[in-house]
Amino acid sequence: MDIDNYAPKKPAGPSIIPLVWTALAVGIVSIILAFVNGIAAAVFGAIGLFLGGYTMARAMKHVQAGIITMKYVWIAGIGLILSVIGFIAGWIDLVG
């Protein structure tokens, strides 16, 4: 009797590819908001920092498992960098 067939399956988490594109979109929005509203840029930048970091880490694990290619890690990294710039620009506008 094979006990592995009766073990409960681990529920799948959210797919990583939509999270990658969401991290990039939040980064772009934070850059755009840096020219419009400093508070909103800081808020979206902070959200993008958390989302971009989480997405990069998960995407790298998927790359190591051979599920996706490295380009999604790069896209999440670009979103993370844009979020950093938007957050800093928004924070400077907020403080200064």
| 3-state per-residue secondary structure call for 36-77 | CCHHHHHHHHHHHHHHHHHHHHHHHHHHHCCCCCCHHHHHHH
Domain assignment present for 84: yes
Q: How many domains does the chain have?
A: 1
Domain assignment present for 21: yes
Domain that holds residue 39: 16-95
- pLDDT, tens only, 27-45: 999 999 999 999 999 999 9
State the pTM of this model: 0.84
Domain assignment present for 11: no
67 pLDDT above the threshold of 70: yes
Domain assignment present for 4: no
Instruction: Give the pLDDT score at 11.
Output: 58
Domain assignment present for 70: yes
Of 19-28, 40-49, 58-67, which gets the smallest average pLDDT?
58-67
Domain assignment present for 23: yes
Domain assignment present for 88: yes
